[in-house]
Amino acid sequence: MIKNLAFFLLCTLPWMSQAHPDHTHEAAHHAHAEPGSMQLMHARLRDFLPTASSTAGYFTLTNTNQQAMTLVKAEIEGLGRVEIHEHTHVNGMMRMQKIDKLEIAPDSQVEFKPGGYHLMAFEPTKPLKVGENRKLTLYFADGNRVYGLIEVVSLKAQMHNAKNGHQHH
């Protein structure tokens, strides 16, 4: 059982049109969580800004397993390199750094978002196009993987979403 592929639930509704600020913290407690699963929601990847060599990706990941799950790697179709980053405050300065792993406690949720954990994507082999979906694969320390799609969004849409919290569904 332990080596089963992780279950994932991909939200197919357009996430941008679904901002419900009142429900920001409810997702972890919802009935669509099945035992022993990882749920990937609201995955979006910002389009590259002109001349930028990297861009950021965000999503919400819910661990409904009985044990902690450790995220160790992410891949996005058509991008040469993807890193897991965190933001830290050092002497009042906001900095980001690459991390090798991120443990997600049992029955808890981690939100990748601006100013927090995020994916950093580099070296596109195929230019991103706003509105398209790319394959996203998340790798965990126990060998499980979560497969999903990540939607390419504009900076404007991303900032709008950050202000309104993520969607409820």
- Give the footprint of Cu ion on this chain (CB under 5 A): 85, 96, 120
How near is the Cβ of 163 to Cu ion at its closest, in Å?
20
Q: Which segments within the chain are labelled E, that is strand?
A: 38-46, 54-63, 69-76, 79-90, 93-99, 102-104, 108-111, 118-124, 133-140, 145-153
How near is the Cβ of 144 to Cu ion at its closest, in Å?
24
Q: What gap in Å lies between CA 46 and CA 33, rounded to an integer?
A: 27
- Return the number of the residue (19 or 120) whose C-beta is nearest Cu ion: 120
For residue 86, which amino acid is it?
A: E
In this chain, which residue has its C-beta nearest to Cu ion? 85
- Return the number of the residue (72 or 96) whose C-beta is nearest Cu ion: 96
- Return the number of the residue (8 or 112) whose C-beta is nearest Cu ion: 112
How near is the Cβ of 88 to Cu ion at its closest, in Å?
11
Residue 162's nearest CA partner among 63, 52, 72, 56 is 56
How near is the Cβ of 54 to Cu ion at its closest, in Å?
7
- Return the number of the residue (95 or 160) whose C-beta is nearest Cu ion: 95
Residue 45's nearest CA partner among 157, 155, 150, 167 is 150
